[in-house]
Structure 1
């Protein structure tokens, strides 16, 4: 069975993305980027002016630029043409013989092509982890977060996100840097990922997370830390405060902060110019989240 013909739809509505169950924060020192299946064979079903694909490619290129500037590892997946049909397995039953070993099928799109030294993994099944060295290479690079872009969102992208989660790797699927068969499949993929295995992100948020903070912002963050450390010391033992700052992703409620004390902490921050919604804080009760709020308001 062939891929669907003439895919043509607008990209996702970024103002109405599903809320992710996971509250993970993307960090450049923990992240790697995966460009999933952006080969000519998989993109040829799209109409020449398909907004969803053009957006996905453009936003992927922007993420690649930020990743390379920050020294974040970049990986690609790409199938080989003329696959042995026995080795192709059940995919043959659903999608036919697959691509031929010709550049117009196998080449990765020029706009997001790999640079020297970037790893192109041979794709065997839906998941990028299946029969590849992706897990081992992530571990060797000390990376446990994976930013995923490419096609198709409800098939290989979702399968890769699900397997990343099961391998203790945080998947961040970029809503406007993936494309699919149509808007229904695109939305289905984002809902599935947000509900059970990963963070649905935007390209802007990923680029911001991979871009080093300006020195002035770093200094402001240090000022917030002093205020926060002093206030937390009122409510928690000194060793627990040290634990919270040693790992800024630590859940402060797990250290003994309760709702009443949390309100008092947020009141002190508000006096310093950092307004934090209590509901948002309860979903991510961490030092990292409070630092992010301070950067947003420029404190």
Structure 2
């Protein structure tokens, strides 16, 4: 019924370059629909004090949905990432989302999980301009407070960016509230 699987076609076993694990990644062999079956996944979660599992992948209505339900049965909170799951058809994809949402986990989108940190200085500028009271646009080295940026909005930005750069806080942003200074903070390599 199942055939030989991927082992018959080594060229289909390769992982695309963007998803190739590095030496710091943990790779688990998945034997059945549930990622917990015949794997150390549950033990690894317990040993690291984790009780939540983010689920992404292909065949949402098969392995991903089964893993979510199995996680729930093991008192692990599954988060089913709707826009990071694929399936054969739209109907099967929607069925899996509805099943998990109604029975065993929480369905979320990637933007709910990943903090938004602008990828370019231009993107930072686009994020900041709507927060200003002034119609004039500041130069990148001008004080944003002079253009109406208030402390509440600055605190919200600090909280968002701290998720990626743990050292960013309100004081750091307030000391030098310019697009240039903030871009210098945000464009650092994440450690």
TM-score range, shorter chain: 0.5 to 0.7
Q: 1:181 is paired with a residue of what secondary structure?
A: coil
Looking at structure 2, the residues matched to 102 and 114 of structure 1 have their Cα atoms a distance apart, in angstroms, of 20
Q: TM-score with structure 2 length normalisation?
A: 0.60
Are 1:176 and 2:83 an aligned pair? yes
Q: Report the 3-state secondary structure (helix = DSSP H, G, I; strand = E; otherwise coil) of the residue aligned with 2:38.
A: coil
Q: Are 2:118 and 1:211 equivalent residues in the alignment?
A: no
1:96 deviates by 2.6
**Higher RCO (C-alpha under 8 Å, 6+ residues apart):** 1
Q: Counterpart of 1:69? A: none
Residue 144 (str. 1) matches residue 51 (str. 2): yes
CA–CA distance in structure 2, aligned partners of residues 109 and 101 of structure 1: 18
Unmatched tracts of structure 1, length 5 or more: 1-92, 218-299
Report the alpha carbon displacement of residue 97 of structure 1 after superposing the two structures with TM: 2.5
Residue 22 (structure 2) aligned to one of 105, 115, 132: 115
Deviation sequence 1:86-139 (CA, Å, 0-9, x none) = xxxxxxx3x332112554222222211212121111111000000110001111
C-alpha distance after superposition, 1:182-202 (max 9, x if no partner): 100000000000001111010
Q: Please give the per-residue CA displacement for 1:10-30, whole angstroms capped at 9, x wherever unaligned.
A: xxxxxxxxxxxxxxxxxxxxx
- TM-score, scaled to structure 1: 0.39
Q: Secondary structure at the match of 2:101?
A: helix
Of 42, 52, 66, which residue of structure 2 is paired with 1:159? Answer: 66
Aligned CA-pair RMSD: 2.1
Q: Structure 1 residue 215: deviation in Å?
A: 1.7
**Structure 2 unaligned blocks of 5 or more:** 116-159, 172-191
Structure 2: distance between partners of 1:215 and 1:160: 38
Whose helix proportion is higher, 1 or 2?
1
**SS of match in other structure, 1:126:** coil
| Large movers: runs of 4+ above 4 Å | none
- Establish whether residue 104 from structure 1 lines up as the match of residue 11 from structure 2: yes
